Amino acid sequence: MREFVQADFDIAGEGLPMMIDSELICIINHILSTVYKGEFIIRVNDRRILFGILELCNIDELLFGSVCSTIDKMDKMNLHEINSEFIDKGLNNEQITKLFEFIKLKGKENILFKLMETNLYIKYKDVIDELILLFRYCDNLNCSKNLIIDLSLARGLDYYTGLIIEGTYLNKEIGSVVGGGRYDNLISNLSGSDKIIPCAGFSIGVTRIVSLLTKDLNEVETVDVFISTSGNLFVEERQKLLKMFWANNIKSETFYTKRSNVNEHKKYCKKKRIRYLIVIGEQEWKNKCVNFINIENDTKIIENIENLCSIIMKNK
């Protein structure tokens, strides 16, 4: 059993076709572009279209749920594995070939225009027209840039009645971070009421986003060198070293307080994973040298200032 944290956003009540749904896309787009600075896509599909595709492929209605659960794995399994699972569930080669022709389609509105040329449009005209409307509304709300239609998007939960949504950061191995859609029957099913209350919404995987942010934090490029002093503050001497390091693209920093504490600076370097600590001492500086400490292996040598850049760059 896994434990995770997620945040939920729902809108309940009647609404014009795709007005509420497009606002959901807009909110998801804002969240994904704000909480993490990475490329992302928002994939949409409609459960009714998915079932219509299964009908066109002459797949037994009793297998719809099972087949959809396999389609939902397409981003986790290769085509051979997907094909084998379809066969295990009773599909024949003709059905599988025809099914793949549909579920491989993904892109912008042009995918929907292609569907208008198929027999699917006869029965599901309203659904396809609504998805075209969704893209138009998202254009109006300036949130269609990362939006695509993906006919392989199934989402495993059976309570979705129409639009399904999934948001994913690209080139990250954490899976989707947003999932949702329309579930018009959920409230009546849970309450036992005959009254249908339309509902749409999404959940954000807070745990996944935090893990993504934490991972990136650990991978942030650290400073190469910290400059400390012994005895005096040596402000101008430190500035000369900073100027030299910065000119050679060596990331370096120093302290700004009125006193220097080498031991505290060592702890700081270990905490921030700064590899080298330079300590300026009066006698060493007169000899054009500094104390050069490798924090990783805790070694200390007296090194000529003119050699510092080449040593650091060689070991970066």
Question: What domains appear along the chain, each with residue ranges and CATH number?
Answer: 6-217 (3.30.930.10), 225-314 (3.40.50.800)
Among 88-92, 115-119, 218-222, the range scoring the smallest mean pLDDT is 218-222
Separation CA 179–CA 182 (nearest Å): 11
* pLDDT bracket for residue 114 (50, 70, 90): very high
Query: What's the pLDDT at 186?
Result: 80
Residue 256 assigned ligand-binding role: no
**CB burial string 125-152: b at 16+ within 10 A, e below:** eebbebbbbbbebbeeeebbebbbbbbb
Stated pTM of the model: 0.69
Question: Is the model's pLDDT at 239 over the cut of 90?
Answer: yes
Separation CA 253–CA 244 (nearest Å): 12
Torsion of CA 66, 67, 73, 75, to 10 degrees: -160
Mean pLDDT of all residues belonging to the chain: 91
**312 vs 217, higher pLDDT:** 312
* pLDDT bracket for residue 65 (50, 70, 90): confident
Residue 160 assigned ligand-binding role: yes
Residue 42 · residue 32 · CB < 8 Å:
yes
Separation CA 204–CA 176 (nearest Å): 9
Residue 6 assigned ligand-binding role: yes
Residue 2 assigned ligand-binding role: no
Question: Is the model's pLDDT at 216 over the cut of 70?
Answer: no
Question: Is the model's pLDDT at 155 over the cut of 70?
Answer: yes
* pLDDT bracket for residue 156 (50, 70, 90): low
**28 vs 298, higher pLDDT:** 28
The residues with which 46 forms a beta bridge, in sequence order, are 163
Query: What's the pLDDT at 213?
Result: 81
Query: What's the pLDDT at 1?
Result: 52
Count of Cβ atoms closer than 10 Å to residue 106 Cβ: 15
Query: What's the pLDDT at 157?
Result: 65
Among 10-19, 137-146, 185-194, 225-234, the range scoring the smallest mean pLDDT is 185-194
- Taking residues 211-225, report their average pLDDT: 74
Query: What's the pLDDT at 135?
Result: 97
Residue 268 assigned ligand-binding role: no
For residue 187, which of 201, 199, 203 has the smallest C-alpha distance? Answer: 199
Count of Cβ atoms closer than 10 Å to residue 59 Cβ: 23
Please list, in sequence order, all residues whose beta carbon lies within 8 angstroms of the beta carbon of residue 192, skipping any fewer than 6 positions away. Answer: none
Separation CA 254–CA 310 (nearest Å): 20
Token duo for residue 1: 């059993």
Question: Is the model's pLDDT at 160 over the cut of 70?
Answer: yes
For residue range 123-151, list pLDDT tens digits in order. 999 999 999 999 999 999 999 999 999 99
Query: What's the pLDDT at 2?
Result: 62
Question: Is the model's pLDDT at 221 over the cut of 90?
Answer: no
Query: What's the pLDDT at 140?
Result: 97
CB half-sphere exposure, 311, CA atoms < 13 A? 16
Query: What's the pLDDT at 307?
Result: 94
